Structure 1
Amino acid sequence: MFRRLVAAFHPRKPALPAPATHDAITAYDEHGRQVMMPRAEWRDKVLHPRLRQHWNSPDALYATIMSALSDGFAPELMTAAARLVEIDGLPERSHVAHGIVLLESGRLDDAEAALRAGIRAVGETAALLTNLAKVTHDRGIAAATADLLGRAVRLDPNFDHALNGWLAFERERAGEAGFLAALRDACGLPGSWRAQLLLARHHLAAGDLPAAREQYTAVLAAAEVDGSALMTMAADLARHGHTGLIVTLVGPVYEPAKHGPQAGFNLLRACLETERVAEGEALLARLRPLAPAPFTRHLDEFQRAFRQLHGTVAPV
């Protein structure tokens, strides 16, 4: 059961010996070009200098820690994570980061202490409780893990790691019927929208497009639509062959500055596949001023594809 739940949490690897020096880190230069560096070289020439550079800047230090965590450098980050707790004006953020660094370094007792210190500082939050659930999960304490995840979901039903973990427990405990009952309960929590997207995904898989569309309409009617909600909606509709609905549902509400470029790429693909050239080119014009450098070449590819639909560029 616990192994199946691992995927429901933030991706995490146990503490392991240092990777071989020939392993590479992918990065991007200022022109958006992909570059590869050996891990040891990246650690010594990029990570350590960057940590020193941002030692007194909590936002930049936090971003550096979380980026390096995703590349498996947890043991290299323990001192920096402790420093973040000292200087950060956002104690929930710093204690969660510290707890994750310790957890991913295999120091469960220290991780629990860091997370409980965060709770003493700001009270229970979904992020702190979910990461405490990772500690009890690694210790094999199922009841405590389920309780912590349930409390996290009630605090924030849209915190995906908590919601996914709790639903996985309910599926294990009571099968598919239990999973769906829990999912519908989560849909009813104040402010919930992520559970509605999961319920829509279930309806799409069952071939019930009207029921899925009903859930999507409810999510889109909310005053604040999250960019990740639009990404999930577009990806699920595309996976089940309803590309045209992406343009119909997502297009009218998508705002590049608010929802980010990734949701815009999903919408661009939908415009391309449904040959809606005018909508696609208008969206490209809105995305270009806001897209980070690594995305520029993707926008260029979309531009060429739309021009081919116009017939102004010969197919390669």
Structure 2
Amino acid sequence: MSKLFGKTTSPTTPAPNDPAKDPNLIRVFDKYGKELFITKDEWRRNVLPGAIQSHWNQPDELYGVIINAIQDGLHQDVLNAARQLYSIDPNRVRATSAYAFLLIKDGQLDDAGRILQSYLDQNGEDALVLMNLARLYEERKQTQKSEETLWRAVEIDPNHDNGLLWYASIQEERGGKAARINALKRIAALPGSWR
């Protein structure tokens, strides 16, 4: 009957065993652009170390390897690479934020705090660094301090997706959709906000 009435199965509906949906697989492309999938363990053992090593002294490329590994759930595998990035990257915000983020994920909260505070002492406030500091306070269960720091980050850069959405999400958890809308209005009223 579906053929008679024009109903078809959507070609975009993933197959039940779609490897792209498997959290234990990582999508890669061969030199011809063909999509392939390998296990995280295989990636961790055979690909990631070489990628890190080949970009060890190239901050932009090393940062890309680190971010991809974080997105693939391999944050523990790139902690040393983030330490290297921190030591070589002229982009201090990026280096500080990446390294501190991974230290927080690894439970090294005191080290992350020292790195973030050192940046702030030397360079002044930066929205991304403050967001990571807010995350650190959140991990320490210092909710009020976390939210105050997050709000300061939003004041500095009201257009930064992570800060804006995190702040709005906190407000929604407390007061529902109306509180989220009010939070977004509050952010929109900040100088420099274009959202």
TM over 0.5, shorter chain: yes
Question: Which residue matches 2:49?
Answer: 48
Q: Is the contact between residue 126 and residue 156 of structure 1 (CA under 8 Å) also seen in structure 2?
A: yes
Distance 1:138 1:104 in 2: 9
Shift of residue 193 of structure 1? Answer: 2.6
- Root-mean-square deviation (CA, aligned residues, Å) is 1.9
Question: Which residue matches 1:72?
Answer: 73
* Aligned-partner residue type, residue 138 of structure 2: H
Distance 2:47 2:25 in 1: 13
Matched, 1:98 2:110: no
Question: Which residue matches 1:144?
Answer: 145
Question: Which residue matches 2:33?
Answer: 32
Question: Which residue matches 1:113?
Answer: 114
* Aligned-partner residue type, residue 35 of structure 1: L
Q: Write out aligned runs for 1:58-207 (5 A).
A: 58-194=59-195
Partner deviation per Cα, 1:88-107 (whole Å, 9 max, x = no partner): 11111000000111122222
Q: Write out aligned runs for 1:193-232 (5 A).
A: 193-194=194-195
Distance 1:110 1:189 in 2: 33
* Aligned-partner residue type, residue 30 of structure 1: K
Distance 1:168 1:44 in 2: 37
Structure number having the greater helix percentage? 1
Partner deviation per Cα, 1:159-192 (whole Å, 9 max, x = no partner): 1111112122333445544433322121122232
Q: Over alpha carbons, which structure has the higher Rg?
A: 1
Distance 2:35 2:110 in 1: 39
Query: Residue 35 of structure 1 aligns to a residue in which SS?
Result: strand
Q: Is the contact between residue 92 and residue 122 of structure 1 (CA under 8 Å) also seen in structure 2?
A: no
Structure 1 residues 42 and 172: CA distance shift in structure 2, 3 A: closer
Distance 2:46 2:122 in 1: 35
Distance 2:104 2:86 in 1: 16
Structure 1 residues 171 and 31: CA distance shift in structure 2, 3 A: same
Bigger RCO of structures 1 and 2 (CA < 8 A, at least 6 apart)? 1
Shift of residue 48 of structure 1? Answer: 0.4
Shift of residue 44 of structure 1? Answer: 2.2
Question: Which residue matches 1:217?
Answer: none
Distance 2:193 2:32 in 1: 39
Query: Residue 31 of structure 2 aligns to a residue in which SS?
Result: coil
Structure 1 residues 30 and 172: CA distance shift in structure 2, 3 A: same
* Aligned-partner residue type, residue 129 of structure 2: L
Distance 1:176 1:62 in 2: 36
The two structures have a TM-score, normalised by structure 2, of 0.81
Q: What is the total number of aligned residue pairs between the two structures?
A: 173
Distance 2:177 2:79 in 1: 40
Distance 1:100 1:186 in 2: 25
* Aligned-partner residue type, residue 23 of structure 1: N
Q: Is the contact between residue 81 and residue 94 of structure 1 (CA under 8 Å) also seen in structure 2?
A: yes
Shift of residue 109 of structure 1? Answer: 2.0
Query: Residue 36 of structure 1 aligns to a residue in which SS?
Result: strand
Structure 1 unpaired stretches of 5+: 1-21, 195-316
Question: Which residue matches 2:11?
Answer: none
Partner deviation per Cα, 1:58-106 (whole Å, 9 max, x = no partner): 1111111111111111111121111111111111100000011112222
Structure 2 unpaired stretches of 5+: 1-22
